[in-house]
Structure 1
């Protein structure tokens, strides 16, 4: 009992002395772990007034076991994952500042916490299960949560985490921290950034038929990743030509180089300046993705986007670019009633207002046009997708069925081609 009291007290003191990495244990798994240690400490304490029962220790152990089972990670793998995701002064500053140039006290604090967390890491699930077993004196041995080990990281199998601080710093620079490490795709919702757990996995290799547009957008994105001024880009053209898919595929291709995509709906565009300010100091590079863009007259979103595209007194954010898609060449709806007549007297320079509306798309530095797919382009897309899906039909039969599908459906487009291939793949597999 004395040994259990000393061990649980030691780990609780270690956790309480964390200087930077407190958030590693501020989650359901970590909180259940701390609660378990507290119960074991109180159970083994000589102070009768504060002791808990063996049943209470079992109940808290069960809660901890369940939280680990829900995430399907071992305690050790989970702990390392939380360390590598943690957003704290060290992990934030080391992304933009060489480790040698950081304050010595910050480095010392990081090493101090890493040593504590390694001690906790070395206290295995089995050892904790044995502690609880000894308190409960149950006839059956407690099951300890074990699972398949996760892929190795810079902390796995390291004898001394303090000596691995350079490798940890490199990980933070490459992958980021917090929500930007957890997610490569996000959306602005309810005045905050929300991670997208399962983003569209489409790849650049799946998009064919618009090679010039694709190459131009890739090059512009590479400028962004390299730290140069990339151009805000408008992707204009018919529905189903792959404009949105091309933007989404950039995330799949370049997320390991620090690219993140933030989806902003038209209804949230008035928050765009605030979003830019929130992302400005983040080391990762961001595409703000606006799909199906158009404005009504006197739309506040028009003014917000104009500020981001043209700038104001605030310096332009070098790590952010806007990619928007639209089906309209002129983004602001224009009516015949908008056009000035000789009798108009409300505004002297009314034509200037009309021209500002019509030329808003010119404020994008780059405009890529996606023309409707002709038959040759449509069949090229069909053949490419069929090859990727490993559909082995004669070329003439595949083409005939694809043209029939387009005639009976939504016409020739990349979207129609994808729908046809998905249907054909399922049809072949079930017949």
Structure 2
């Protein structure tokens, strides 16, 4: 794996929720990095989200990201904010970086206060684990994920090679709008803070914000990105900017797909494409109505070509389109147009398509310029079991 220059990774076992599990991780930059962040729009924003937004507002450089699983520190009031700040003080002493240069992120059950004794006890182990293995950090932020999620990219400019690495967790409570979803990006390009933030916001909107597992947006969602300039490669021209953005987008696209692929109990990934809408917002309404429909999602799980559920969801989405204009294709097979199903045995035609893991559902709703694409999981019996038992 091509690790960006100037970063070290750490992970330790604090037993925040489960014994023996890696549940505290950190990414440390050898030199302070420009930082960017995109956050949940949930009204109940967790203490680490509020802390990060406050820290990034003044444009300061950042030396580390620290993420934990098992304790969300959400809906915990002023005590939760104070505990969050104290974890940064503890980490600063252990990692050797200023407390006001560490971005925190947390995931877990909402409502519980941090066990501060466990935070204090784990810090020496976190510091001792610092090394060059990002997989350990990626594992430390997992909750109901079945696999850790990493993606990387690199490209050459005249000044040398630029490298990016991204990690995320997310399997349930996923429908980001910036699930439970945390994502961290490390890059070694020399880029301005303004350009880095713009780039991250744009790329997140095209990737992480276009996935749904269950329609639930977490209190803790965040994407945090550092770029420390240690490659010595400056991003200066328009072409440089476009190239960096392209590779950041590719990292986030891969992470977004891995989130949906690892959805709690998930067995299918639906690529819901909408075109011909009057606006992008209308296209988004159609895609999310289809992707969040329990009936569509259970049909996906059962490999059932029940296309009527897709039409129904599009019809109640609230998007502005004429019913007679809608054209539906599943896996490239024309299913519905002009207000009526296409002739032929659709069950037979669609059976091999519905049996696949990745299924493309395309809805054309007119001749407008609006379009979007959403990744959605199916809804399985295991999803219900996981979430019924998660607190135990």
- TM-score, length basis structure 1: 0.26
> More helix by proportion, 1 or 2?
1
> More strand by proportion, 1 or 2?
2
- TM-score, length basis structure 2: 0.28
Please identify the structure whose Cα radius of gyration is greater.
Answer: 1
